Chains A and B, each alone.
Chain A
Amino acid sequence: MRCVIVDDDPFIQELLKDKLLNYFPEISLEGVASNGHEGIQLIKKLNPDLVFLDVEMTDMTGFEMLAMFDELPFKIIFITSYKHYAIKAIRSNALDYLLKPFDLEELKNAISRFKKNHLDQTQNLKNTISTLKTKSNKDDLLTLKTQQGDLFIPLDDIIHIEGERNYSLIHLVNQKKELVSKTLSNLEDLLKGKGFFRCHKSFIINKSHILEESNHNYVVLSNHKEIPISRRRKDTFSNWNRNL
């Protein structure tokens, strides 16, 4: 059996190399890549049976690397550190993972499962990538500096933002509000491409909180507020609302 390691930590590369050498003579380590881009090249060149793949690398995640392959004719054992957010997604899609710095029994079990399991992992991997994409969108935050320190607001929690000269009032779920010293234009820039739209000179709205739309004149949001759509923004709004 031929394997490769894709991990950007030289310590992990050495440790896994030694563990394989010491305890798994039937597995031949064919190559080591230090980032996702090198990993793609190495896998395409060597066509291994098994890839030990780091979840979080500096240039891309292991999932982003896998997404660059049309087919996955190799098995994957993900390697990750303690309490990484991706573990839940990996586990729930019946994929294998190892926690760094590798307990020998867990490594033995993972390799034994790899030897027995010849099922195609492609669909499970696609599900995992999709789960993580959804999670990562939900985790997006709006980060703002305030006099009290950094303020982190999950984007999902923002319903709409109201501009008041040099300040903006952020209307959040659960009827909370945050007044921040940013203009609406500043916030519009920060939120570009994240599901928000400046529908009026005084308002930015969050697409995921639109309950209904009235003939492109106004929208009703999840806090039951009616927000006007200015005449000159109607066409852009219509395209945005349709396409997003």
Chain B
Amino acid sequence: MTSHSHHTKYINLEHVYGISRGDKDKILKYLNQFNELIPERLDLLNRALLLKNREQVRQIIHKMSPQLQFFGIQSISHHIHKLELDFKTMPFSELTAMVNDIILNLEQAIKEVHSTIIDLETN
């Protein structure tokens, strides 16, 4: 059994530990899945920005959003709500700034998830 004792700034693993009921393999399953799916989606987001494809940006954000909530990533929740609602009409420069901020925050979150995986695997 593993308890929730990691100090993190970008992620909050309360839900991950809750659903896993302290089962280390299950916790690792969710953490590894985060580190597989989120970088892929960040690549897609970057590509959608380059193509100036607003609908694609919305779809990727929409798809990521539950996993980000589950990982307690609060810092970008305002951006996510705004993008989901106003993606069609907001100026493209504003959309780009928000998406870039999301990407920066999630890169930090990925690092924290990675460190947590290492901690769990070595303990």
Report which A residues bind B (CB closer than 8 A).
Answer: 9-12, 14-15, 18-19, 22, 56, 81-84, 100-101, 141, 149-150, 152
Stretch of B6-14, B80-88, B102-110, B115-123 at the chain-chain interface: B80-88
**Across-interface contacts of A150 in B (CB, < 8 A):** 52, 54, 92
Q: Find out whether the CB atom of B66 lies under 8 angstroms from the CB atom of A81.
A: yes
**Across-interface contacts of B84 in A (CB, < 8 A):** 82-83
Q: Find out whether the CB atom of B30 lies under 8 angstroms from the CB atom of A100.
A: no
Q: Out of B21, B62, B66, B89, name the residue touching A22 (CB < 8 Å).
A: B21
- Decide if B46 is an interface residue (CB 8 Å cutoff): no
Complex Cα gap A11–B64 (Å): 9
Q: Find out whether the CB atom of B66 lies under 8 angstroms from the CB atom of A9.
A: yes
Given contacts A101-B15, A101-B70, A150-B92, contact A81 B62 (CB under 8 A): yes
Q: Find out whether the CB atom of B92 lies under 8 angstroms from the CB atom of A101.
A: no
Complex Cα gap A11–B70 (Å): 10
Q: Out of A9, A19, A152, name the residue touching B89 (CB < 8 Å).
A: A152
- Decide if B67 is an interface residue (CB 8 Å cutoff): yes
* Closest chain B CB from A85 CB (angstroms): 10
Which B-chain residue is minimally distant from A139 (CB atoms)?
B88
Complex Cα gap A193–B85 (Å): 27
Q: Find out whether the CB atom of A101 lies under 8 angstroms from the CB atom of B37.
A: no
- Decide if B74 is an interface residue (CB 8 Å cutoff): no
Q: Find out whether the CB atom of B66 lies under 8 angstroms from the CB atom of A19.
A: no
Given contacts A56-B59, A152-B88, 15 further A-B contacts (CB under 8 A): A11-B67, A11-B70, A14-B29, A14-B30, A18-B19, A22-B19, A81-B63, A82-B65, A82-B84, A83-B84, A101-B69, A149-B91, A150-B52, A150-B54, A150-B92
6 contacts between A and B (CB under 8 A): A10-B33, A11-B30, A15-B19, A15-B66, A19-B19, A83-B85
**Across-interface contacts of A12 in B (CB, < 8 A):** 66
Q: Find out whether the CB atom of B92 lies under 8 angstroms from the CB atom of A83.
A: no
Q: Find out whether the CB atom of A101 lies under 8 angstroms from the CB atom of B88.
A: no
Q: Find out whether the CB atom of B88 lies under 8 angstroms from the CB atom of A141.
A: yes
- Decide if B111 is an interface residue (CB 8 Å cutoff): no
Q: Find out whether the CB atom of B65 lies under 8 angstroms from the CB atom of A81.
A: yes
Which A-chain residue is minimally distant from B26 (CB atoms)?
A18
Complex Cα gap A19–B20 (Å): 9
Interchain residue pairs A-B with the least CB separation, the first 8: A100-B66, A101-B66, A101-B70, A11-B67, A81-B65, A18-B19, A81-B62, A101-B69
